[in-house]
């Protein structure tokens, strides 16, 4: 469903996202593409399809999976606001490397490939942010490969997923807090308060607390194990008091101990 939103007035845009552009580039972004709302579990792009469009996530979360010939899925990463999808394929002119499916209702800017390529050539900031986005995709691929190849057990693979996810989520919260602190400091014309404590990736009690929108099956796909194995390992971690689960909220109670025992 197409909707109207101004990229210039967007309040979601953060310093680390693709849309961290200057005013001229943002006005250029606002002129191209269409703002579209996708329903939960709706497919944005399909693995192997030719890259006719590039997708910039404005709100919501999207899972990216790749499949084997026998239909098994590997969940590569979960994208959120400020991430761009289909970029590497658009740059290479080859098929999309993954399938993207909305984990919840999402708002996405859908940009025709030709328009995006002209946009990238026109503004240096777009080219720079595109390079950062592709580098991020590469980093996610390395994490997935390391997890699958170097983790010696199913518990180790799933523990790595939880630790990576928790640290990434905490790092994003710290970055957001840092940006808010800087804005407040600018308003009062001082950076004295700065971003105190923003470098930490943990709660004050040493735990990792984060929202986990994935089902057990999707967690298994990310770790390269079956749904049944994922459920068994999660139960084991809870019994060992290494993990607490309350709905979608997860708490890794002792990240160091979990890493030492299983990773």
What is the pLDDT, as a whole number, of residue 238? 96
Kindly tell me if the per-residue pLDDT of 196 is higher than 60: no
By mean pLDDT, which of 55-59, 181-185, 230-234, 257-261 is the weakest? 181-185
Q: What is the pLDDT of residue 177?
A: 56
As a whole number of angstroms, the distance between CA 77 and CA 133 comes to: 13
Six token digits for residue 128: 């720079």
Q: Write out the two tokens for 93.
A: 């002119």
Per-residue pLDDT tens digits for 13-69: 655 678 889 889 999 998 998 999 999 999 999 999 999 999 999 999 999 999 988
Element (H, E) at 62: strand 62-67
Please, what's the largest Cα pairwise distance for the chain? 60
**Cβ atoms < 10 Å from Cβ of 187:** 8
- Separation between Cα atoms, residue 175 and residue 14, nearest integer Å: 9
- Mean pLDDT (whole number) for 154-176: 80
Cα–Cα distance, 58 to 198 (Å, whole number)? 24
| 81 touches 58 (CB < 8 A) | yes
Question: Higher pLDDT residue, 166 or 255?
Answer: 255
- Asked if 6 and 58 touch (Cβ cutoff 8 Å), the reply is no
Asked if 244 contacts 250 with a C-beta cutoff of 8 angstroms, the reply is: yes
For residue 190, the model assigns a pLDDT of 31
Residue 167 has pLDDT above 50, yes or no: yes
**pLDDT at site 140:** 84
Domains defined for the chain, CATH in brackets:
2-150 (2.60.120.10), 154-262 (1.10.10.10)
For residue 231, which of 243, 219, 240 has the smallest C-alpha distance?
Answer: 219
pLDDT of res. 11: 67
Pairing of strands 43-45, 53-59: unpaired
Percent of the chain at pLDDT above 90? 59
Using the predicted structure, report yes or no on whether residue 198 has a pLDDT greater than 90: no
Cα–Cα nearest to 107, from 127, 140, 82 = 82
CA dist 213 and 41 (Å) reads 12
pLDDT for res 97: 93
* Pick from 16, 66, 17: nearest CA to 45: 66
Question: Stretch 143-169: mean pLDDT, rounded?
Answer: 86
Other beta carbons less than 10 A from residue 139's beta carbon:
11
Q: Bridge-partner residues for 77, per DSSP?
A: 64
Residue 256: pLDDT band by 50, 70, 90 thresholds? Answer: very high
Of the CA atoms within 13 Å of residue 48, those in its CB half-sphere come to 4
**pLDDT at site 12:** 65
pLDDT 10s digits, 114-143:
999 999 999 999 999 999 999 988 888 888
Q: How many residues does the chain have?
A: 263
Residue-wise pLDDT for 203-223, tens only, equals: 667 899 998 989 999 999 999
């Amino acid at each position: 469903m197409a909707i109207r939103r101004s990229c210039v007035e967007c309040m979601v845009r953060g310093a680390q996202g693709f849309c961290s552009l200057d005013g001229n580039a943002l006005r250029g972004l606002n002129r191209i593409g269409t703002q579209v709302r996708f329903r939960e579990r709706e497919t944005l792009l399909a693995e192997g399809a030719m890259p006719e469009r590039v997708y910039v996530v404005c709100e919501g979360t999207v899972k990216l999976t790749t499949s084997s010939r026998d239909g098994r899925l590997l969940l590569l990463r979960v994208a959120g606001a400020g991430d761009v999808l289909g970029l590497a394929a658009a740059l290479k002119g080859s098929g999309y490397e993954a399938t993207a499916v909305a984990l919840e209702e999402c708002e996405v800017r859908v940009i025709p490939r030709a328009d995006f390529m002209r946009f990238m050539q026109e503004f240096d900031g777009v080219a720079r942010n595109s390079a950062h986005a592709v580098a991020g995709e590469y980093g996610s691929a390395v994490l997935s490969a390391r997890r699958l190849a170097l983790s010696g057990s199913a518990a180790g693979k799933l523990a790595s997923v939880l630790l990576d996810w928790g640290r990434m989520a905490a790092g994003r919260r710290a970055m957001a807090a840092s940006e808010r602190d800087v804005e407040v400091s600018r308003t009062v014309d001082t950076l004295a308060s700065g971003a105190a404590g923003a470098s930490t990736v943990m709660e004050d009690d040493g735990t990792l607390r984060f929202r986990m929108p994935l089902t057990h099956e999707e967690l298994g796909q990310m770790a390269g194990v079956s749904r049944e194995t994922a459920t068994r390992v999660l139960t084991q971690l809870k019994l060992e008091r290494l993990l607490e689960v309350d709905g979608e909220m997860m708490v890794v109670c002792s990240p160091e101990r979990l890493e030492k025992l299983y990773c």
